[in-house]
Amino acid sequence: MNDHDPYGVTADGFVVKGIDRIVADQQTRARAMFGDDVDLTSGSPLRKILDAAAVHVHELWKSAEDQFYANFTTTAQGAALDLLGTDLGVPRRRLQAAGEVELTLTGVRPDQPRVLPPGTVVEREEPPRKSLRILAPVTLRAGEQPVRAGVRAVQRGPDGDLPPAQKLRIEPTWARTHLNLGPAAVSVTNPEAITGGELLEPDDVYRARLLGVPRTLWTQDALLARILDIPGVRDAAVFDPLGGVDAAGNRFNTFRFGERAFSGRRQTGSPYYFDVVVAVEPGWPWFREEGDIPAVHDAVTETVRQWRPVSIFPHVKPANEVDVGIRATLVIDAGHNPDAIRGQLIAALHAGVDRLRLGRAVLHSDVVLTARSTPGVVDVQNLRLRRQAPAFGGITHGGPLFGSAQELSVGENLRLAADEVARFALDSPLIDIQVSSQ
């Protein structure tokens, strides 16, 4: 750099003056004040004073840099990011307590296993009731050692923490709705404490939430942001065939209440309706009677009620969950365990598919890439995607198919309608993976 190089706030951000430049500037000023023959060698008293001052000046430059970048959501950290969130009305959230529980199956023969799906709700028997959700599927067999499973509290914050050795149970209402245990009984306890609710979400998670906050009111984006922040919501979409809520239709923001209808198809004096389709995370009940933890339908309805304009009402509908499977042959290196490779691939596909949003297709290329990335896999042959027809829903957008399961051609993507969401169950009958050694 030279004397003409800009420092401080520039068009490219904040440029900190380096300590070498600070020392050089101080020596230049010292010569101007005391003459060119002033002693500035490394052992002189004046040089030592200037060097000590340069360190503090450099710290001031770094503090100024921190203050500059603390004004922007993309670069702020810690307390500065909290202040920006306060301005937007979005405080930093507490985390959900997490830990492990032990589950034991009794009341059936050892050859009659029971599978608890992810999202199974476990609660403390003694009041105050605290609910937990199992994070991964668990297979239980009578007469075997207790099986450990990871759990996460339903409620955020320290109220979700649990001390060790609590007597737990599978939430009865949820079990009657989602499980078929028959004569079997499942005992649950937590050998260690369930902790972590006192912690705050990290900067990267909080920053992503702040960047996604819409700066508008009564628009589709603003409504979706509020719905997606509801516990238990995996994804959501607003369908507005008449253009009322869809800002892209250029009708919602320009509508003059009491002067004209949203469109020619709407009769004057009749209420206007739009559809909200919600994909629910595993374990969360849709209606209140399906479980004791907060129902997603009620929470979404209440949220939309607060953020909808006057005389515009929602139809809140659950998304159609489409079971996805594959049929393929894996060629693996000799010496690898075929069952272990099959299990790794199924777990990877489960994680990948369950991250897809509403209407997002399952791409054949993504599945092939996941399979080839599995350690020990040499080649993937004749990979075909499968889908199970969704349960019949109240609304459709794009014509989902109803009937028996389908197997697509090699290379064909599994496309979904706008109100469908993909689900890859670990124990799905649609999975047919053959493994052969090279």
Q: Does pLDDT of 150 surpass 90? A: yes
Cα separation, 59 vs 18, whole angstroms: 10
The CATH number assigned to the domain holding 132 equals 2.40.30
For residue 179, what pLDDT is reported?
A: 86
For residue 3, what pLDDT is reported?
A: 52
- Residue 251 or 44, more confident: 44
Cα separation, 246 vs 281, whole angstroms: 25
For residue 269, what pLDDT is reported?
A: 53
362 belongs to a structural domain: yes
Mean pLDDT computed over 2-25: 82
Mean pLDDT computed over 280-284: 88
| Same domain membership, residue 334 and residue 305 | no
For residue 230, what pLDDT is reported?
A: 92
277 belongs to a structural domain: yes
- Residue 402 or 162, more confident: 162
Instruction: Find residue 116's DSSP bridge partners.
Output: 138
Q: What single-letter amino acid sits at 218?
A: W
> Do residues 239 and 397 touch, judged by C-beta distance below 8 A?
yes
| Same domain membership, residue 364 and residue 352 | yes
Distance of CA 383 to the CA centre of its chain: 29
Cα separation, 242 vs 262, whole angstroms: 7
90 belongs to a structural domain: no
Q: What is the pLDDT of residues 303-348, one digit of tens each?
A: 988 887 777 788 899 998 899 999 999 998 888 888 899 989 998 9
Block residue for tokens 């010292």: 30
349 belongs to a structural domain: yes
For residue 91, what pLDDT is reported?
A: 93
Judged by DSSP in three states, 373 sits in coil
| Same domain membership, residue 327 and residue 302 | no
Mean pLDDT computed over 342-371: 91
For 91-177, list the strands marked E by DSSP. Answer: 96-106, 114-116, 121-124, 131-134, 138-140, 147-156, 167-170
199 belongs to a structural domain: no
Mean pLDDT computed over 400-404: 45
For residue 251, what pLDDT is reported?
A: 46
For residue 395, what pLDDT is reported?
A: 39
Block residue for tokens 């929602």: 314
Cα separation, 184 vs 347, whole angstroms: 27
228 belongs to a structural domain: yes
Which of 159-173, 258-272, 346-360, 414-428 shows the lowest per-residue confidence on average (mean pLDDT)?
258-272
Cα separation, 180 vs 121, whole angstroms: 14
Boundary-marking domain end, from 301, 318, 335: 318
Cα separation, 138 vs 412, whole angstroms: 32
For residue 305, what pLDDT is reported?
A: 86
The CATH number assigned to the domain holding 255 equals 3.30.70
Segment (H or E) for 382: strand 377-387
Residue 104's pLDDT band (cuts 50, 70, 90): very high
Judged by DSSP in three states, 141 sits in coil
> Do residues 400 and 320 touch, judged by C-beta distance below 8 A?
yes
The Cβ of residue 53 has, within 10 Å, a number of other Cβ atoms equal to 13
Mean pLDDT computed over 400-415: 76
Q: Which domain holds residue 300?
A: 214-318
Cα separation, 349 vs 360, whole angstroms: 15
Residue 8's pLDDT band (cuts 50, 70, 90): confident
| Same domain membership, residue 299 and residue 401 | no
| Same domain membership, residue 147 and residue 116 | yes
φ/ψ of 134, rounded to 5, equals -75, 135
If one counts the domains in the chain, the total is: 4
For residue 247, what pLDDT is reported?
A: 39
Contacts of 343 (CB under 8 A, 6+ apart): none
| Same domain membership, residue 433 and residue 329 | yes
What is the pTM assigned to this prediction?
A: 0.72
Q: What is the pLDDT of residues 194-209, one digit of tens each?
A: 999 999 999 999 999 9
- Residue 181 or 4, more confident: 181
| Same domain membership, residue 326 and residue 300 | no
Alpha helices in 125-254 (DSSP H): 172-178, 203-211, 220-228
| Same domain membership, residue 429 and residue 339 | yes
Which of 49-63, 123-137, 271-285, 349-363 shows the lowest per-residue confidence on average (mean pLDDT)?
271-285
Most confident range (mean pLDDT) of 41-45, 230-234, 392-396 is 230-234
> Do residues 106 and 184 touch, judged by C-beta distance below 8 A?
yes
Distance of CA 30 to the CA centre of its chain: 58
Q: Does pLDDT of 216 surpass 90? A: no
| Same domain membership, residue 337 and residue 367 | yes
For residue 159, what pLDDT is reported?
A: 92
- Residue 401 or 176, more confident: 176
Q: What is the pLDDT of residues 228-279, one digit of tens each?
A: 989 999 999 887 655 444 434 444 445 444 444 444 454 555 567 788 999 9
| Same domain membership, residue 328 and residue 342 | yes
